[in-house]
Amino acid sequence: MKWVHYHTILIRIVGKMLLSKKKIKINKEITVSHNMSDRTGKLIKQLETEKDNWLDGIIKTRELVLSNLAMISHIPALAFKEGKMAATLIERYIAGGIPEPHIDDMNNAIGEIPGRTGEKNIIIFSHIDHRADINTTNALTITKDRVIGQGVPEDTIALATMITLPDVIKRLNLSFDNNIILLASARYHDRGELEGIRHFLKKNKGKFDYAINLVGTPIGTVNYSSLSRTRCDITCDIDVEQTTPWGKTINTSAIFVMNEIINRLCSIPLPLHPKTVINLGKISGGDRASSISTKTVLKIELLSEDDSIMTKVIEDIHDNCVDIGAKYDVTIDCDFFGRHRAGGLTYSHPFVKSAVKIVNLLGYRPIITYNNSELAIPLTYSIPSIAVGITTGVFSSSDQGYINIDPIPKGILQLIMLLYAIDGGYCDA
């Protein structure tokens, strides 16, 4: 009985010790949370005092932003053919007072605004290439309220904002302790697959402390994470003059075979948690109604919250295509490319918190979602990174996409405020 009594006392003592440790841990978490809240509150108070003055100065640069937008919108810059655009951006960097800007071997156009101390390096980036050859589209239209044209919401307004930034900083008479690196990255669209930003960060690994990805729309965007992503082009080729006995008996078309591939893709079991999807993006093939289709191409994109699941889905797609190729005696090629890993920050990171507070201060609602394009690359290198939008508008693959002009100054102000927050140490984890 005594042993039972002592055992009970021991359990109570250990329980109190564990509870005490738990309270200490909770108190520490509460203290950290309060400190972060106090720090963010101090930042917002400082920004509130500067907001109106900065905004007035930025509004005076609006015509320069629109001029830069019109200029770069009319320069041909398909992926892998960005040389002319890069050279033009270098001229704009020089006009903005950036010393010794340069073009690297990937046609990235790079400029640096030196900081007072150069303690940290902040990279601001947007892509340089267009989705389509601008020379084959309708001209850019600038009205009182909108800019209308192909690629404007997705491509050119973010790039125009970035190359105007040195002029904005000079007009506001601002200087920062940290170095600001402006990167107009090449090879974003089509099979470029983000090669420009990949090359630049690989070559300068470990040199950057923060990254800000500029996107055109919508203002209020605060993206800070990415999914595991892979793209794949599935090509089906049929030899009309079949050489095997089995092939001679089939007499099918590439479109028919691709239909079975699609059915197989749709039958691959995908988990809801972690969420995983196969997006059938584009299909092309055939010549005319009276001809047997000898070639079809299906373009797909795979997204998942888990890298290991992505690997399994890639294997399943490959195996199914091999089976169907053998079944119909045709050549099926699966070309997987552009893979990047899942990763990112959390909402609790001071960089994210500061960005959200700034969006609120400017009167917009934060828009938070996954970003599976350029932002994913600096996140892969564990660089604290976010993507922010410049204005409002409507994206369209035709020439009817547009942006609204009025929100642009606030979109630029948001960027200035973020640089101020980083410079003051408010974004440090």
Q: Tell me the DSSP string of 270-320.
A: --TTTTEEEEEEEEEE-S-TTS---EEEEEEEEEES-HHHHHHHHHHHHHH
Element (H, E) at 252: none
Q: Which of 325, 340, 355 is the last residue of a domain?
A: 340
Evaluate whether residue 20 is within a structural domain: no
Say which CATH number the domain at 92 has.
Answer: 3.40.630.10
Quick one: how far is CA 212 from the chain centroid?
Answer: 10
Write down the pLDDT at residue 16.
54
Residues 246 and 320 in one domain: yes
Q: What local confidence, expressed as pLDDT, does residue 29 receive?
A: 43
Q: Is residue 46 part of a domain?
A: no
Q: How many CA atoms lie within 13 A of 163 on its CB side?
A: 31
Query: Are 218 and 347 in the same domain?
Result: yes
Residues linked to residue 332 through DSSP beta bridges, in sequence order: 236
Residue 43 domain-assigned (yes or no): no
Q: How far apart are the C-alpha atoms of 111 and 93, rounded to whole Å? A: 7
Residue recorded with tokens 């972060």: 36
**Helix (H, G, I), strand (E, B), or coil: what is residue 400?**
coil
Give yes or no: residues 87 and 211 share one domain.
yes
Instruction: Tell me how far apart the alpha carbons of residues 285 and 224 are, in angstroms, rounded to a whole number.
Output: 38
358 inside domain: yes
Residues 110 and 221 in one domain: yes
For residue 282, what is the domain's CATH number? 3.30.70.360
d(CA 159, CA 223): 18
* Domain presence at residue 8: no
Does 171 share its domain with 235? no
- Count of all residues that appear for the chain in the document: 429
pLDDT at 247: 52
Decide: helix, strand or coil at residue 321: helix
Q: Which amino acid would we find at residue 110?
A: I
Is the same domain home to 256 and 405?
no
> Residue 165 and residue 419: Cα distance in Å, rounded?
11
Domain endpoint, select from 322, 340, 358:
340
Beta bridge partners of 393: 403
The reply to whether 163 and 235 lie within a common domain is no
Which residue ranges of the chain lie beneath pLDDT 70?
Answer: 1-36, 132-138, 240-251, 398
User: Does 96 fall in a domain?
Assistant: yes
Which residue shows structure tokens 């050859």?
133
Domain shared by 210 and 237, yes or no: no
- Asked if 187 and 194 count as a contact pair (C-beta separation under 8 A), the reply is yes
What is the number of structural domains in the chain? 2
Same domain flag for 207 and 84 = yes
Element containing residue 404 per DSSP (H, E): strand 402-404
Q: What share of the chain is helix, strand, coil (3-state, %, to 5)?
A: 45, 20, 35
Two structure tokens written together for 393: 């508008």
On whether the CB atoms of residues 160 and 72 are closer than 8 A, the answer is yes
Q: Provide the 8-state DSSP code for 263.
A: H
pLDDT of 14: 46
Last residue of a domain, which of 340, 372, 391?
340
pLDDT at 400 (0 to 100): 81
Starting at the edge strand found earlier in the chain, the sheet holding 146-148 runs 141-142, 146-148, 402-404, 393-394
Q: Is 173 left (phi over 0), alpha (psi -120 to 50) or beta?
A: left
Q: Please, what sign has the CA dihedral across residues 349, 355, 356, 361?
A: positive
Q: In what order do the strands lie in the sheet with 276-285?
A: 276-285, 295-304, 228-237, 331-340
Contact between 381 and 235 under an 8 Å Cβ cutoff? The reply is no
What are the beta bridge partners of residue 219? none
Please give the C-alpha separations between residue 397 and each of 29, 67, 148, 216, 387, in angstroms, as whole numbers: 48, 23, 12, 14, 21
Flag whether 44 is in a domain: no
Residue-range definition of the domain harbouring residue 263: 228-340
**Statement to judge: residues 214 and 237 lie in one domain:** no
Same domain, 120 and 250: no
> Is residue 374 in some structural domain?
yes
Whether residues 75 and 114 share a domain: the answer is: yes
